[in-house]
């Protein structure tokens, strides 16, 4: 990448260049005069350029007045525009283009007036000088404007690069946050479900009259806690920096039977009607449907006191319709943190229902969870094909 030139060095270089050019022109005076005053003015025209960035208009005005003073003192001719090229360039470079054009017009008008007033008869027949000075002024102003535009283009490029980097960083943070939320939802759904099953069977074991009667319930507790530990290990493996050794299995509607079996062993009657073809749903929709059913069964086991739950899943015209209905206490929404609303509820839905709603909304769908006469309903509508997935 090209390094930027130090502005002070650039200004000093321009001042020296203007001083040397004027000194050479003064030394080449056709009359052969040696003018100390002319050299002093040449030095002054150069020194004023050292403040051109901070005071571009002042530099331009002082230069114009110095040119008029120079010719008033009858010093060796150097042209009207040549001493002002640095000031004209600086004004155009510092967003003072109109000032530069106006000053150049004044200089050319004054020069033309004195050439045409008859005091210099030979000048009236020579348009070469006027054209030269006009071209010199135009070149100085155009160069200053070009330098300004190039600088602004570099600044815009740098700003665009900074904004792009910030946007990429924000997108990376958003992706990381989304992954964290996904992991949190998965942990909540899976471990919450298995621990709910374990808690129910532990209660059965405590109330069993003898060890033989408690053993089946304890076996279910062991199986549930083993499932929870297995899910936890899988999540930790995903969080590690090491690449996974192979593709991770994706849970879906086809994997619901173990959930239903666990619920049945806990004493819940589970009726199912899952009529969705194996290739009808994209992977993310299939996984979200599984998690919604899992969390719904967890809430039924934890809070409802239901004896029966019915799970229905259909794919109709590209839309997955998922419905979980139980016959538990219809007013439990007011008593549990997993409810959306209820007669005495003062807070919004709990983490479980919020997680289900987020899953559905992320895929462009909706989810409603609310009490109903004789029970509780979870009703989800999700597009069967998530955008960007086959």
**Going from the N-terminus, what domains does the chain have, and what CATH number goes with each?**
7-163 (no CATH), 251-390 (3.30.565.10)
The pLDDT, as a whole number, for residue 310 is 92
The pLDDT, as a whole number, for residue 128 is 62
Q: How far is CA 76 from CA 71, 73, 157, 318, in A?
A: 8, 9, 47, 91
Mean pLDDT, the chain, as a whole number? 78
d(CA 129, CA 81): 11
d(CA 112, CA 282): 82
Q: How far is CA 49 from CA 30, 46, 146, 241, 282, in A?
A: 28, 6, 19, 59, 70
Q: Averaging pLDDT over each range in 28-37, 96-105, 331-340, 348-357, which range is the top one? A: 96-105
The pTM (predicted TM-score) of the whole model is 0.46
State the average pLDDT over residues 316-335. Answer: 76
Tokens of 50: 């050292």
**Count of CB atoms within 10 A of residue 47's CB?**
12
DSSP designation for 5: P
The pLDDT, as a whole number, for residue 190 is 65
Going by pLDDT thresholds of 50, 70 and 90, the confidence category of residue 124 is very low
**Count of CB atoms within 10 A of residue 43's CB?**
15
Instruction: Pick the closest to residue 297 from 372, 200, 363 (CA basis).
Output: 200
The pLDDT, as a whole number, for residue 278 is 79
The pLDDT, as a whole number, for residue 130 is 76
d(CA 103, CA 106): 5
Residue 170: exposure state from Cβ atoms within 10 A (0-12, 13-18, ≥19): exposed
Residues 88 and 100 sit within 8 Å (Cβ to Cβ): yes
Residues 370 and 348 sit within 8 Å (Cβ to Cβ): no
State the average pLDDT over residues 23-43. Answer: 83
The pLDDT, as a whole number, for residue 22 is 85
Summarize the chain as % helix, strand, coil (round to 5): 65, 10, 25
Residues 175 and 341 sit within 8 Å (Cβ to Cβ): no
pLDDT in tens, 169-202: 777 777 777 767 766 766 666 666 666 667 766 7
pLDDT in tens, 204-215: 667 767 777 677
The pLDDT, as a whole number, for residue 296 is 87
The pLDDT, as a whole number, for residue 169 is 76
Q: Is the pLDDT assigned to residue 359 strictly greater than 90?
A: no
Going by pLDDT thresholds of 50, 70 and 90, the confidence category of residue 338 is very low
Going by pLDDT thresholds of 50, 70 and 90, the confidence category of residue 159 is confident
d(CA 389, CA 240): 26
State residue 377 phi and psi, 5-degree precision: -125, 135
Q: Is the dihedral of CA 164, 170, 174, 180 positive or negative?
A: positive
The pLDDT, as a whole number, for residue 324 is 92
3-state secondary structure of 359: helix
pLDDT in tens, 213-263: 677 777 777 777 776 777 677 666 656 655 444 444 557 888 888 888 888
d(CA 307, CA 263): 10
The pLDDT, as a whole number, for residue 3 is 54
How far is residue 271 CA from its own chain's centroid? Answer: 47
């Amino acid at each position: 990448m090209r390094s930027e030139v130090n502005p002070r060095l650039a200004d000093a270089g321009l001042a020296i260049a203007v001083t040397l050019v004027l000194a050479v022109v003064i030394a080449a005076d056709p009359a052969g005069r040696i003018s100390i005053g002319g050299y002093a003015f040449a030095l002054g025209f150069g020194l004023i350029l050292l403040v051109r960035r901070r005071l571009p208009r002042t530099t331009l005005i002082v230069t114009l007045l110095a040119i008029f003073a120079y010719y008033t003192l009858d010093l060796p001719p150097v042209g009207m525009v040549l001493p002002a090229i640095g000031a004209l360039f600086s004004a155009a470079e510092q967003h003072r283009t109109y000032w530069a054009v106006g000053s150049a017009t004044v200089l050319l008008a004054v020069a033309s007036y004195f050439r045409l007033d008859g005091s210099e008869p030979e000048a009236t027949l020579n348009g070469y000088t006027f054209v030269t000075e006009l071209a010199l002024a135009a070149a100085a102003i155009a160069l200053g404007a070009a330098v300004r535009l190039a600088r602004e283009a570099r600044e815009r490029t740098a700003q665009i690069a900074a904004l792009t980097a910030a946007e990429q960083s924000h997108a990376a943070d958003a992706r990381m946050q989304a992954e964290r939320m996904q992991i949190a939802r998965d942990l909540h759904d899976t471990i919450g479900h298995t621990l709910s099953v374990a808690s129910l069977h532990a209660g059965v074991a405590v109330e069993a009259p003898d060890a033989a009667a408690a053993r089946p319930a304890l076996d279910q507790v062991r199986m549930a806690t083993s499932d929870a530990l297995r899910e936890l290990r899988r999540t930790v493996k995903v969080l590690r920096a090491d690449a996974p050794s192979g593709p991770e299995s994706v849970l879906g509607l086809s994997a619901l039977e173990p959930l239903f079996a666990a619920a049945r062993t806990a004493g819940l009657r589970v009726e199912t009607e899952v009529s969705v073809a194996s290739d009808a749903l994209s992977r993310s929709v299939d996984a979200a449907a599984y998690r919604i059913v899992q969390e719904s069964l967890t809430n039924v086991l934890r809070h409802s006191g239901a004896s029966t739950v019915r799970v229905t899943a259909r794919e109709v015209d590209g839309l997955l319709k998922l419905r979980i209905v139980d016959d538990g206490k219809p007013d439990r929404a007011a008593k549990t943190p997993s409810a959306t609303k209820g007669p005495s509820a003062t807070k919004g839905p709990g983490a479980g229902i919020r997680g289900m709603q987020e899953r559905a909304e992320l895929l462009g769908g909706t989810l409603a969870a609310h009490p109903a006469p004789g029970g509780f309903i979870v009703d989800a509508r999700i597009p069967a094909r998530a955008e960007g997935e086959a």
